[in-house]
Amino acid sequence: MVKNLLRRLMIIYIIQEEGFSKVTVSIDLKINGRAYPVAVEPRKTLADTIREDCGLTGTNLGCEHGVCGACTVLMDDEPVRSCLMFAVQAADREIRTVESLAPSETELHPMQQAFIDEHALQCGFCTPGFLMLATSIYENRPGVSEEELRELLSSNLCRCTGYLNILKAVQSALGSSSTTQHA
């Protein structure tokens, strides 16, 4: 019995150390309109793949378990937390990261400009995630009410700004300015 147990433990050890950890899957990621053929372990997150395999380090990682929203990217125009997804789940989907926003090296996306104008960032760590979340609102829900906007933005965390200026920035980009002073 002890012998059998040891054998099973040895098999589990070999699978974990030398088996599954070396299995990779070849997938095509489409990020910011460009193809990224990558070979990834099935368990690798989309966030890590975007940063490490595609070299797009604008997407930040904070909590790595779906709470802070720092890793938010757009997938088929909807915001997703890239730390909660496996890269293989994103194969052949349209991914957009913060690097896609500025139309050129000398121009900013209206949402980026609004964040600057309204002082909506300090350390900037949360900013890529907020920008992608806000861009999805800008594109998909331009007539959103202030109450709905507060609810939508509450999905992401910022440790610096106190949120009011982020709210103002998004409202400014959306063309509304009804922000009250109780963020």
Give the residues lining the site for ligand FES (CB under 6 A): 61-64, 66-71, 81, 83, 121-127, 158-161
| Six-digit token string for 11 | 């098999």
Alpha carbons within 13 angstroms on the beta-carbon side of residue 121 total 17
Q: Which is nearer to ligand FES, 124 or 142 (CB)?
A: 124
Q: Which is nearer to ligand FES, 17 or 78 (CB)?
A: 78
Residue 41 Cβ vs ligand FES, minimum distance, rounded to whole Å: 19
Q: Which is nearer to ligand FES, 9 or 123 (CB)?
A: 123
Closest by Cα among 82, 78, 76 to 56: 82
Residue 18 Cβ vs ligand FES, minimum distance, rounded to whole Å: 30
Q: Which is nearer to ligand FES, 26 or 161 (CB)?
A: 161
**SS3 of residue 144 by DSSP:** coil
Q: Which residues pair with 79 in a beta bridge?
A: 74
Residue 166 Cβ vs ligand FES, minimum distance, rounded to whole Å: 8
Q: Which is nearer to ligand FES, 112 or 161 (CB)?
A: 161
d(CA 106, CA 177): 27
Residue 85 Cβ vs ligand FES, minimum distance, rounded to whole Å: 10
Residue 175 Cβ vs ligand FES, minimum distance, rounded to whole Å: 24
| Six-digit token string for 142 | 């331009």
| Six-digit token string for 100 | 């896609």
d(CA 168, CA 2): 66
φ/ψ of residue 171, rounded to 5: -65, -40
